[in-house]
Amino acid sequence: MKLATFYAESGERVGVVTGEVVYDLAACAQAAGVRVPGSVQAILDGGKDALDAARRVIDGADARFAKPLADVTLGAPLPRPGKLFCLAGNYASHIMEGGGNFAGKEKMTPHFFLKPWTTIIGTRQPIRIPPASTFTDWELELAVVIGKEGRDIPAAEAQRYIAGYTIFNDISARELAYRQNLEAQAGDKFFDWLIGKWPDTFGPMGPWLTTADEIPHPDQLEMKLWLNGELHQNANTGQMIFSPAEVIALLSQFVTLHPGDVISTGTPAGVGHAKKLQLKPGDTIRGEIQGLGVLENSVESLA
């Protein structure tokens, strides 16, 4: 099942995508006399029972509650997740294209950082580059959506905690200009890297959440990204250093995971900084991961 958030006159609605149409889940449920939660987050909070109820409603849905996808404005499937974790350096190819050394998995631990939910936008919504970002870049990533609360989760059991998957683009300000007249201080380089991940709109997500039952092999998905029609990233999720299960196991040693939390699992080689090619107003960026749809965004200036 593909769960989407879309916009109508009444505000955010939950949709279920089937082929080239999206069904209004609440309208279908009302017609069937069934109660279903009113957001993707609420469905995840409701666990298996809520997901099963949504499936039953859609299985018997009336076509009059379906809208062509082309006519619908989609938001991110989870516009305001509780926690949004991202991995840095989870593909050897990306480490090396940035000038780093891949020492081998056995000598590494996953490195995480958080992005605020204010970074999140949906497909077809614009990335807006702030004046302080002097080099803005892309990072196509597979994102894992948590469906069950857990702490200290063994890797062997991690799959049971995954509700589904979506596409995430970890937009990054590689270079910043906001305090040129100050002397350098300890920690500046790391903080600049971190704050470069935080600007509004720097977290395109979508186009929908595909439930885990439809993605039996998340470690075998082709992933591609195009800038203005030119292919720049072409990889496979099987090239990750740390699998989603291993990532969940480590993260849950420190943080309780909740339904609707999102973990974006890092990007492969092909980012712009390695090619001295940056995002600029007027660009269009398109990311695709096998079985998860297409995430496409235009680029604008915030100024």
Q: Which residues contact 282 (CB under 8 A, 6 or more apart)?
A: 298, 299
pTM above threshold 0.95: yes
Q: What is the pLDDT of residue 250?
A: 97
- In three-state secondary structure terms, 29 is helix
Judge whether 4 and 23 are in contact, CB under 8 Å.
no
**pLDDT band, very low/low/confident/very high, at 266 (cuts 50, 70, 90):** very high
- The domain ranges of the chain are 2-75, 84-301
pLDDT tens for 80-138 read 999 999 999 999 999 999 999 998 999 999 999 999 999 999 999 999 999 999 999 99
CATH class of 2-75: mainly beta
Q: What is the pLDDT of residue 185?
A: 85
What is the separation of C-alpha 108 from the centre of its chain, rounded to a whole number of angstroms?
Answer: 24
User: Which residues neighbour 189 within 8 Å (Cβ) at sequence distance 6 or greater?
Assistant: none
Residue environment code for 19-48, b if the CB has 16+ CB neighbours within 10 A, otherwise e = eebbbbbbbbbeebeeebbebbbebbebee
Q: How sure is the predictor about 186, in pLDDT bands with cuts at 50, 70 and 90?
A: confident
The neighbouring-strand residues paired with 140 are 169
In CATH terms, the fold of domain 84-301 is Fumarylacetoacetate hydrolase; domain 2 (3.90.850)
Q: How many of the other CB atoms lie within 10 Å of CB of 60?
A: 10
Average pLDDT, the chain: 95
Q: How far, rounded to the nearest angstrom, does the alpha carbon of residue 114 sit from its chain's CA centroid?
A: 13
Does residue 281 surpass a pLDDT of 80?
yes
What is the band of 37 on the pLDDT scale with cuts at 50, 70, 90? Answer: very high
Across 169-194, average pLDDT: 88
pLDDT band at residue 194 using 50, 70 and 90 as cut-offs: very high
